[in-house]
Amino acid sequence: MMRFRLKPSRRAAGIALVTGGSSGLGAALCVDLASRGWFVLAASRRATAPAAAPGVAGRIEAVELDVCRPESIARLSAQLDDDGRMPELLINCAGINIHGVFEELSRDQARAIMDTNFHGVADTLRSFLPAMRERRRGTVLTIGSLAGLLAPPGEALYAASKHALEGLHESLHHEVQRFGVRVCLAEPGYIRTDLARSAGEPAARIADYARLRPVLHEHWAASIAAGTPVERAAREILDWAIEGNGFRRRFGANARWLPWLKAFLPQPMYDAGLRRRFRA
């Protein structure tokens, strides 16, 4: 089994483990952390380190991790424990989406979304939280979503997974704070990544949804294209998680005003506006 060793200077800077660290927001988080002096374990199924400047890249190490396979999580946890390299900062960023209406997603696709976005986070916490509790220090940062606060058409399973993270982390936040472990749940709106291009296609095409389907796709792609630049999102989230306080925080204008709109508008008015936007 391969063993990874830290130089003393890297150990002093702190160790962070970032799931989904090979691309998108996860990669940006890895690079930003390394620029702050952290030694970063960029975890992904491909074990590919994100591109970074030479001085920063030396602080990032790619490790293999599939959050949908508990044995993969347990293997990495045991390996890092053996090496005395359990992370002080755990960032749960791995996630997937298959954009489409509920009926067009197969059972296997629905399970894949929930397994990655929710159960993968829960299983990762089970492996790495005990060491933080025993040391009486550590930070868990999980990347939730605006979809954890509201659920537009075309996001049923993705929103369900992010709503589940809200409940898990709210309870966990109360359970572990007495042990010096901080739990942070970031709730970003749209972020400018390649998520729209990399998302899978629904398994079915149902004629009754033919008119809605292109509207959903257009809205999703346009929202991502107009979203917060990924480097800025990573910087703002880490500023809060490392230097700030509080359990939850929303990032991006749409994540701040859309839930407010939902909370204060009468339900029929909110529903009518949403359906008019999507021509649903």
Q: Which ranges of the chain would DSSP assign to H, the alpha helix?
A: 8-13, 24-35, 54-57, 70-82, 107-114, 120-135, 156-176, 195-198, 212-225, 230-238, 253-264, 267-278
User: pTM of this prediction?
Assistant: 0.91
The one-letter code for the residue type at 37 is: G
Query: Tell me, what's the pLDDT at 198?
Result: 66
C-alpha pair distances (Å), 192 with each of 118, 201, 226, 230, 234: 22, 20, 7, 6, 11
Domain span including residue 139? 8-278
Q: Is residue 1 part of a domain?
A: no
Please report where in the chains the tokens 């993969």 appear, as a residue: 72
| Residue 2 in domain | no
Q: Which two tokens stand for residue 100?
A: 């489409």
Q: Which of 158, 190, 209, 270 is catalytic?
A: 158
* Residue 257 within a domain: yes
Largest CA distance in the chain: 62
Burial class from Cβ neighbours inside 10 Å (0-12, 13-18, 19+) for residue 185 reads buried
Query: Which residues neighbour 58 within 8 Å (Cβ) at sequence distance 6 or greater?
Result: none
Q: Which residues contact 105 (CB under 8 A, 6 or more apart)?
A: 98, 113, 156, 157, 202, 203, 204
Rounded distance between C-alpha atoms, residue 145 and residue 97, angstroms: 12
Query: Does 41 reside within a domain?
Result: yes
**Is there a domain that residue 55 lies in?**
yes
**Known catalytic residue at 158:** yes
CA–CA gap between residue 116 and residue 114 (Å, rounded): 6
Domain CATH for 196: 3.40.50.720
42 phi/psi in degrees, rounded to 5: -90, 105
CA dist 258 and 265 (Å) reads: 11
Terminal-to-terminal C-alpha distance of the chain: 54
Structural domain count, the chain: 1
Task: Please tell me the predicted confidence (pLDDT) of residue 194.
Answer: 75
What residues contact residue 159 under an 8 Å CB cut-off, 6+ apart? Answer: 145, 147, 148, 150, 151, 152
What is the mean pLDDT of each successive set of 10 residues along the chain, which is 280 residues long? 36 80 96 96 94 85 97 98 97 94 96 98 98 97 96 94 98 97 97 74 92 88 90 97 95 90 91 82
155 token code pair: 């996001």
**77 in any annotated domain:** yes
In a domain, residue 153? The reply is: yes
Q: Is residue 3 part of a domain?
A: no
